[in-house]
Amino acid sequence: MRELFLTGATGRLGRTVQKELADEWSIHPCSLSGGEDLTSVEPVDAVPEHIDFVLNCAAVSSRSGCIKNPVTAFKLNTLWPRKLAAFCSETNRRFVHMSTDLVYAGGIPPYTERSPAVPGSFYGWTKLLGDIAVQKRNPNACIVRTSILVGDAGAKMTTFSEDILSGRATHFHVDCFRNHTDINALARFLSICLYSSRAGLILAATPYAMSRAAYAYSLLKRDINLIPAPNNIPHDLTLRPSEIIPTH
């Protein structure tokens, strides 16, 4: 069985990767709560010597988290992937890195791999700078850019569908469009990326965008509270993904 070093292993995507890929991969999990602070460690000290595959899911993954802890966010979202990408390139390890649709500002959809990225948030900037550094330091690396993740992750932070079904989310934007992407199917796609030699940016998401309100309605099937999205969040992040992640 191939061995995988997985950062962000306790997060939404990391947990799902552990669950979905357990039969195919022997996974070495890494997380902050597991005792590894990636903002103050070098890849050579973090990645076990015998492991040839690395998947980077560690992130300060929310706009509010990045504003609260900007230095940590810059270190984890920008500097860590830059260092990890260079290390994987120098040591011939396969590297797959996670990106987000929030690198776009939401003004000129649909977005493809060729669309210019100009983020509208500090979170988006930390992620975009990380993506650019990964591409530059490790041209063989694969950068998987996706949209808002939905499905049962069971992590400390919740997915949008978990928020809807638990009643935590009560008001839904009518004018904010994303490609709500199934987290389990995305995890399985990441396994394919790890095995393949594909390089560069890949947009991987469900093929169509919906408003957050339409998505919530599709789950709850009852009247919901509709609100306009505030101006400081991107309104239309519709992706035209080259890799279709199926809905379950």
Ligand X SMILES: NC(=O)c1ccc[n+]([C@@H]2O[C@H](COP(=O)([O-])OP(=O)(O)OC[C@H]3O[C@@H](n4cnc5c(N)ncnc54)[C@H](OP(=O)(O)O)[C@@H]3O)[C@@H](O)[C@H]2O)c1
Chain positions contacting ligand X, by CB under 6 A = 8-14, 31-33, 36-39, 57-59, 61, 76, 98, 100, 127, 146, 148-149, 155-157
Nearer to ligand X, 144 or 224 (CB): 144
Closest alpha carbon to 94 in 81, 103, 85 = 85
Query: Which one, 14 or 94, has the nearer CB to ligand X?
Result: 14
Closer to ligand X by Cβ: residue 92 or 132: 132
Burial of residue 114 (number of CB atoms within 10 Å: 0-12, 13-18, 19+): exposed
Residue nearest ligand X by beta-carbon distance: 11
Dist. CA 170–CA 44, nearest whole Å: 45
CB of 93 to ligand X, least distance (A): 18
Q: Identity (one letter) of the amino acid at 84?
A: L
Q: Which is nearer to ligand X, 27 or 222 (CB)?
A: 27
Nearest approach in angstroms of CB 223 to ligand X is 26
Please name the residue that has the structure tokens 């902050």: 32
Nearest approach, Cβ of 140 to ligand X (angstroms)?
A: 19
Structure tokens at 197: 């030699």
Q: What is the β-pairing status of strands 94-100 and 181-182?
A: unpaired
Helix (H, G, I), strand (E, B) or coil at 113: coil
Least separation in angstroms between residue 13's CB and ligand X is 3
